[in-house]
Structure 1
């Protein structure tokens, strides 16, 4: 009887030792490493968001990055009509909760818009350039605090089409000037350049790229636009091509 009791106690001690030891062993383990496949969030307005059958730059990147040796997950968090005001409000849910390694930010067209088509007409931009600057810096600060890489993009430049002239062809816009739809937008693009320089973050100057394309013989910025405002497939491909090397460089820097 005493022998059986001793054997029972011995076995019980082994069992409880294993059970009690399990949490300690688990706690001693290294935390699970983040997946090798980095996550990239593209954050913006309707020039970033998916639009029906249009192939947007996030889709192009998701295909081209693996071919360039960077198999990445690309999350498109663009929403049409949004300004940096809404962007700040949804930043945690639509960006940070994806636990990204890198975030691409592009806003400006809606921020700069003066809705002269309203009754009575608006007289100021939806978001002032000063508040636009502050909103972008606020998002960049949050990303830097979490050691998440960021790439800023200027908005693309615009061109008149009849429908846009009907809506926006009043002061401060000039429907008789080919650049008349960019009269305010260009200062928002300049603000992005300034922020990128001061915050030491990479910049993709889409505005300048579209304008430089327009200056070449037998080319026009209209070739890159669906409707005078949103990049078409060719315009989206240009943006993706500009982004690709910057994304590779930013992710490579993280690995160092």
Structure 2
């Protein structure tokens, strides 16, 4: 056999051996049940569950994950040139308050309705909202954004905060995300992601610390203002009562269920604090619902689903009314026209 053919044959044999070894390794990891899908199934919070995440969302290098139709929706946003953008988590994405808000505008004959889009994504934190604002929302040039986060930020992470996952993504090629269904890739992620952990004192720190939550909100409000956009912060309301917290939350997003009410209040308070310090608009839904429940205790069950986080249609109607009323009182609609 000629020398060059021997070399080619040897290289081919090595390639086959490597592919065989990788195949065996992949098979063994699957048989043993190993899984570490960093971006979709390992981040723990209320909704959606890991199965739903895999079906409806894809891994995104900047946003961590996004809906499967996100790119096509982005094109629609650019074409619509919306005046008002509603940002947030599942309370916004799957909530009905944006649709109710749009309906109220159409019924108001005193002015033409403004164009509105809902860019909320389930499971998102202020970290992801900040990335979305910089990469996607600024490009559509809205007049007003509402910022409604505060649940997923304080859920316990799987060990690494959202900002650390973001740094990991930026330091590695985009094609790695496309291969993240392979268990060998997940094994690589599980080993090297620990090097990016900034909080070494807690086994499961919150996805976004309270300090980072405030920082993210400040950045969102400042970037919006610098680009001629009016930012409106919104506190996340709840129907939770101390001692009656939904048990399933302890299995997904909390290390101590007894801390739920006080923990959420800390993040609600942070929204108020940032709004005051930055001198930006605040719609305090948490306070408004607390007042409502004090006067009408039975409405606690009518306004929120059993998780105490997501509003029912009745609750979303109240949210829409409160937001619309705030917009009217602060002359937002005339500013949009101008």
Normalising by structure 2, report the TM-score.
0.56
**Contact 2:114–2:336 under 8 Å retained in 1:** no
Q: CA deviation at 1:167?
A: 4.3
Matched with 1:30 is: none
> Distance in 2 between the 1:125 and 1:169 partners?
9
**1:57 aligned partner:** 97
Distance 2:117 2:336 in 1: 19
Alignment of 1:193-212 (within 5 A): 193-212=272-291
CA-CA distance at 1:164 after TM superposition: 3.0
Q: 1:194 to 1:70 in 2, by over 3 A?
A: farther
1:21-55 CA-to-partner distances (Å, cap 9, x unmatched) read xxxxxxxxxxxxxxxx96100000111102xxxx6
Partner of 1:42: 86
1:237 matched to 2:279? The reply is no
SS at match of 2:309: coil
Which is helix-richer, 1 or 2?
A: 2
Distance in 2, matches of 1:81 and 1:216, equals 32
Q: Which residue is 1:23 aligned to?
A: none
Decide which moves more: 195-204 or 76-85: 195-204
2:327 alignment counterpart: 247
State the Cα distance separating 1:254 from its structure 2 match.
5.7
SS at match of 1:41: strand
Give the Å deviation of 1:221.
Answer: 2.4
CA RMSD of aligned residues (A): 2.7
CA distance in 2, matches of 1:57, 1:92: 25
Aligned residues: 209
How far apart, CA to CA, are the structure 1 residues paired with 2:157 and 2:82?
A: 39
For 1:122 and 1:241, locate their aligned partners in 2 and report how far apart those are by CA, in whole Å.
Answer: 42
TM-score, length of structure 1 as denominator length:
0.72
Establish whether residue 148 from structure 1 lines up as the match of residue 229 from structure 2.
yes
